[in-house]
């Protein structure tokens, strides 16, 4: 028999159980109402997985619409372990088709992961073979890979992209934002192992393809310049040869060559550097360098045009001012030689320019003075970067103005004891011959969308009247005389008026017999449509710029000028002695009975 106290106690137990159950219900309500949002958010963050969809990278076109960089469909092959039905068949197929070692593939096939990537960047044709086999558990994803149809063409300008299609060097990185586009994404729910859940609503954001970029490079000019540069590099067994071709009127760069160029489709294969010191990465970085803008050099005699501009701007010299050259000039305690050992004797400024006579420029430089000289450097943009749309542009290395004494001023007057980039010199020279406008050298012209409609046209800074128009007119005549009668005569071509200046700069440290031979030229001399510079680094044998660099420029102009539609002008060429009349107001005497001096020594 149950006693009353037992029944009571049973009820106590029941009440106890109900009480605890009630407490737990309260706790549960708290979790599921008050904290519901908090936990739900964490849980969703845990379940959602964002899978990005690559955006198609914009195509790079040359100025005529030729593709320089485009996209090639490639595939990536991966396996999903849990879906594989016939492991051996899968391993055999993957080894056979993709040419991989069996051990490696088997390990990946057996890996119990969500998804194991076997190989990416597989050519579409090869991937199609695998697709035809229709093996369970083998996934083939289509992807795009950057592809450069011309392999080496303008490699150091264009640059290449990395594994994620991101720009690494050159235009590809400078215009990353334009080209890259915006990747899309697929939001899916996954389980704890990362498997995507079927039937779960997925939200998809479509990728926005990158814009196409049209650059000022002209494939034909670039190709031709590359051929010419390669030819002279081989002939002179030079380290490298750089060429820049630009429109001096607006700064559009037609060609920028740095041979040896590397293959953009295999940017990690070293070219022309069979042996290297240090790490391979350093060697690769050197190979990818664009010497026209990333490095500085002592310009040498080509820089005399800047000194001449300064003197004309300051009005401290007339073309017929007389100078005398004994073969050297003593500045303070230093005896600075002219390249012509015996000296040029008595000569006018115009003749001194033509002869590239160092003492003449030392005198002229001294007349200009330090502060006026620096003001003119400033006007010609030598203290600033050119603003070219490529990454890693180097700055000029100049004396501090307060440190420039007579000796420094003298050496600077003929282009020594400081360093600038070739492109800085080309920009300054453009201003000297285009009527005085300081242009911004550039590649990017405009962008288009997928349909081909222009989206954005790039504007570049043009500093008009950086120097006087008259100065520019005089400079054209002076520089033309260098090619017509002076040291640059090897750049002459029939039917065109060419202006230019040669240089042979000894590389530092002095006396090691290493030179950079260069030539800066433009045409037609009266109305420049193209200006170019060629630099031959460490040529063997004869190393004078006038002998080895000038003829290459002449050869290039002979092909490029007709291509650009610049009409031939025989009569003017033949009557070059008389056309000095153009420059009325300035008394120019250009001696036509050119000493035809084959004088290679004259720089």
Would you give the distance in Å from CA 210 to the centre of its chain? 20
Set 78, 155, 242, 301: catalytic member:
301
- The residue among 186 and 407 lying less far from another protein, judged by its C-beta, is 186
Tokens of 10: 């049973």
Among 21, 273, 397, 542, the residue binding another protein under the rule CB under 8 A is 21
Among 50, 53, 73, 82, the residue binding another protein under the rule CB under 8 A is 82
Measured distance CA(111)–CA(79) in Å, rounded: 9
- Considering the rule CB under 8 A, would residue 14 count as an interface residue with another protein? yes
Q: Lay out the site mask for another protein across 414-443 (x = CB under 8 A, - = otherwise).
A: ------------------------------
Tokens of 213: 């970029």
> Per-residue DSSP letters for 538-590?
S-SS---HHHHHHHHHHHHHHHHHHHHTPPP-HHHHHTTTTGGGGSTTS----
Measured distance CA(101)–CA(291) in Å, rounded: 42
- Considering the rule CB under 8 A, would residue 11 count as an interface residue with another protein? yes
The interface region with another protein, picked from 184-192, 363-371, 434-442, 568-576 by CB under 8 A, is: 184-192
- Considering the rule CB under 8 A, would residue 203 count as an interface residue with another protein? no
- Considering the rule CB under 8 A, would residue 44 count as an interface residue with another protein? yes
413 is catalytic: no
How far the first Cα of the chain sits from its last, in Å, is 131
Residue 31 half-sphere exposure toward CB, CA atoms < 13 A: 6
- The residue among 21 and 330 lying less far from another protein, judged by its C-beta, is 21
Among 86, 123, 128, 191, the residue binding another protein under the rule CB under 8 A is 191
User: DSSP code of 278?
Assistant: S
Angle 43-48-49 from CA coordinates, rounded to 5°: 145
Measured distance CA(559)–CA(571) in Å, rounded: 20
The interface region with another protein, picked from 10-18, 71-79, 246-254, 584-592 by CB under 8 A, is: 10-18
- Considering the rule CB under 8 A, would residue 542 count as an interface residue with another protein? no
User: How near is the Cβ of 187 to another protein at its closest, in Å?
Assistant: 14
The interface region with another protein, picked from 30-38, 85-93, 120-128, 481-489 by CB under 8 A, is: 30-38
- The residue among 187 and 601 lying less far from another protein, judged by its C-beta, is 187
- Considering the rule CB under 8 A, would residue 111 count as an interface residue with another protein? no
Would you give the distance in Å from CA 580 to the centre of its chain? 40
User: How near is the Cβ of 389 to another protein at its closest, in Å?
Assistant: 49
Report cis status (omega within 30 of 0) of the bond before 524. yes
Measured distance CA(64)–CA(76) in Å, rounded: 34
Give the CA distances from residue 245 to residues 151, 226, 289, 410, 544, in Å, rounded to whole numbers and listed in that order.
20, 11, 18, 30, 21
Interface size with another protein, residues (CB under 8 A): 42
User: How near is the Cβ of 186 to another protein at its closest, in Å?
Assistant: 17
Residue 565 half-sphere exposure toward CB, CA atoms < 13 A: 0
The interface region with another protein, picked from 8-16, 274-282, 460-468, 570-578 by CB under 8 A, is: 8-16
Parallel, antiparallel or unpaired: strands 253-259 and 48-53:
unpaired
* Active-site annotation, residues: 301
Which chain residues interact with another protein by CB under 8 A? 1-3, 5-7, 9-11, 13-14, 17-18, 20-21, 23-25, 27-29, 31-33, 35-40, 42-44, 46-47, 82, 189, 191-193, 195, 197
């Amino acid at each position: 028999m149950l006693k009353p106290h037992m029944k009571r106690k049973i009820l106590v137990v029941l009440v106890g159980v109900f009480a605890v159950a009630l407490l737990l219900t309260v706790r549960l309500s708290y979790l599921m109402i008050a904290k519901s949002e908090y936990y739900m958010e964490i849980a969703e963050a845990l379940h959602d997985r964002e899978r990005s969809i690559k955006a198609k990278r914009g195509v790079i076109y040359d100025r005529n619409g030729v593709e320089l960089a485009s996209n090639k469909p490639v595939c990536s092959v991966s396996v999903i372990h849990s879906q594989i039905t016939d492991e051996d068949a899968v391993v055999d197929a993957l080894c056979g088709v993709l040419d991989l070692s069996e051990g490696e593939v088997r390990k990946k096939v057996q890996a119990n992961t969500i998804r194991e990537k076997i190989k990416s960047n597989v050519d579409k044709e090869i991937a199609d073979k695998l697709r035809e086999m229709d093996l369970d558990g083998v996934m083939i994803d289509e992807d795009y890979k950057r592809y450069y149809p011309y392999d080496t063409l303008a490699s150091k300008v264009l640059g290449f992209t990395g594994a994620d299609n991101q720009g690494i060097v050159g235009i590809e990185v400078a215009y990353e934002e334009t080209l890259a586009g915006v990747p899309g994404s697929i939001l899916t729910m996954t389980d704890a192992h990362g498997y995507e859940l079927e039937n779960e609503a997925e939200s998809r954001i479509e990728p926005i393809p990158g814009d196409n970029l049209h650059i000022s490079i002209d494939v034909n000019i670039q190709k031709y310049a590359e051929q010419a540069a390669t030819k002279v590099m081989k002939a002179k067994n030079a380290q490298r040869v750089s060429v820049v071709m630009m429109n001096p009127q607006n700064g559009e760069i037609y060609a920028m060559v740095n041979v040896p160029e590397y293959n953009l489709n295999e940017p990690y294969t070293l070219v022309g550097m069979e042996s290297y010191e240090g790490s391979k990465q350093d060697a690769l970085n050197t190979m990818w360098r664009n010497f026209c803008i990333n490095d500085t050099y002592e310009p040498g005699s080509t820089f005399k045009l800047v000194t001449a501009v300064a003197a004309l701007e300051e009005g401290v010299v007339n073309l017929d001012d007389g100078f005398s050259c004994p073969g050297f000039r003593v500045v303070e305690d230093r005896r600075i030689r002219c390249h012509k050992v015996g000296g040029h004797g008595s000569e006018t400024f115009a003749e001194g320019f033509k002869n590239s006579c160092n003492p003449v420029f030392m005198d002229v430089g001294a007349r200009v003075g330090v502060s006026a000289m620096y003001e003119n450097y400033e006007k010609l943009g030598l203290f600033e970067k050119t603003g070219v749309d490529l990454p890693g542009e180097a700055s000029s290395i100049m004396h501090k103005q307060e440190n420039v004494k007579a000796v420094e001023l003298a050496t600077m007057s003929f282009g020594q004891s400081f360093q600038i980039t070739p492109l800085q010199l080309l920009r300054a020279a453009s201003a000297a011959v285009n009527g005085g406008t300081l242009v911004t050298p550039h590649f990017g012209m405009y962008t288009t969308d997928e349909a081909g409609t222009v989206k954005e046209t790039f504007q570049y800074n043009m500093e008009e009247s950086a120097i006087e128009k008259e100065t520019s007119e005089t400079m054209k005549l002076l520089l033309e005389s260098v090619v017509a009668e002076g040291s640059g005569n090897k750049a002459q071509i029939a039917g065109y008026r060419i202006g230019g200046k040669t240089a042979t700069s000894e590389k530092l440290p002095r006396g090691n017999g290493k030179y950079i031979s260069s030539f800066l030229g433009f045409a037609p001399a009266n109305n420049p449509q193209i200006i170019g510079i060629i630099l031959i680094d460490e040529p063997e044998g004869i190393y004078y710029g006038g002998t080895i660099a000038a003829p290459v420029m002449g050869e290039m102009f002979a092909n490029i000028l007709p291509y650009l539609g610049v009409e031939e002008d025989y009569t003017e060429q033949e009557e070059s002695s008389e056309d000095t009349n153009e420059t009325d107001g300035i008394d120019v005497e250009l001696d036509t009975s050119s000493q035809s001096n084959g004088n290679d020594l004259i720089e």
